[in-house]
Amino acid sequence: MINDHPIFLESIKFIKSKLTDNNFNCIESKVLERLIHTSGDFQIQGLLKFSKSVCERTIESLKLGAPILTDTDMAAAAIKTMANKCRANKVFSAKNWVVDNLEITSTKTAYGIEKAWLDLSKKYHGNVSPIVVFGSSPTALERLLDILEGSDNKPTLIIGMPVGFIGVEKSKKRLLESDFPFIVMGSTRGGAAMAGATINALLRETI
């Protein structure tokens, strides 16, 4: 059981009181509330997109031990505490697969995501396929989508929330138009904290 601070509970109560009508189900609404709490921005309500039943399937996979792969150490740090409080799912950063003095044609994060996915998906597949979290790097998100197009093994979930201006909206649009399970924050908004808050909201539902 997680004992929430009274200020957090009061904040969630306030957020609920200010939300406008939407079509989110109960779990999707909890994700939205956490994201608003993290960002302080009610406008993201209209930017948040879920593929069908993705939250429910992700919770079941987390209960079975699905690992979480992130594009940055910052996102991993935002998730590890909650993961340890819940089901102790393993959390990995793409940086762990990047070594010095590499000749890389794209970005180090894209390289790390590729190597990490190829390694982790050999060990974790089916109902425990990795959850992949993007809060910073659109190039890494694009690279993962490139790899998945030629693979039978799909992630349990792709959280598409890279932040910024160059390539960000393009990568999110590609994810939204794919057949892969997703939670996406549209526009240029996102970031490691918001991406981490998304998976943390789902982790909370596993206990």
Strand arrangement, sheet containing 182-185: 48-50, 182-185, 157-160, 131-134, 68-70, 91-93
More confident residue, 150 or 207: 207
Confidence of residue 1 (pLDDT cuts 50, 70, 90): low
Residue in 82, 96, 72, 71 with CA at minimum distance from that of residue 38 = 82
Element (H, E) at 92: strand 91-93
Q: Is residue 89 part of a domain?
A: yes
Confidence of residue 99 (pLDDT cuts 50, 70, 90): confident
90 CA to centre of own chain: 14
Residue type (1 letter), 193:
A
Percent of the chain with pLDDT over 70: 99
Residue type (1 letter), 71:
D
Q: Is residue 9 part of a domain?
A: no
| CATH number of the domain enclosing 103 | 3.40.50.10230
Number of domains in the chain: 1
Confidence of residue 136 (pLDDT cuts 50, 70, 90): very high
pTM here is 0.96
Helix (H, G, I), strand (E, B) or coil at 69: strand
What are the residue ranges of helices labelled H in the chain? Answer: 6-18, 26-39, 54-64, 73-85, 108-123, 138-148, 168-176, 192-204
What is the residue range of 53's domain?
A: 46-204
Q: Is residue 95 part of a domain?
A: yes
> CA neighbours within 13 Å on the CB side: how many for 122?
5
Q: Is residue 26 part of a domain?
A: no
Q: Is residue 27 part of a domain?
A: no
Residue in 77, 11, 4 with CA at minimum distance from that of residue 39 = 11
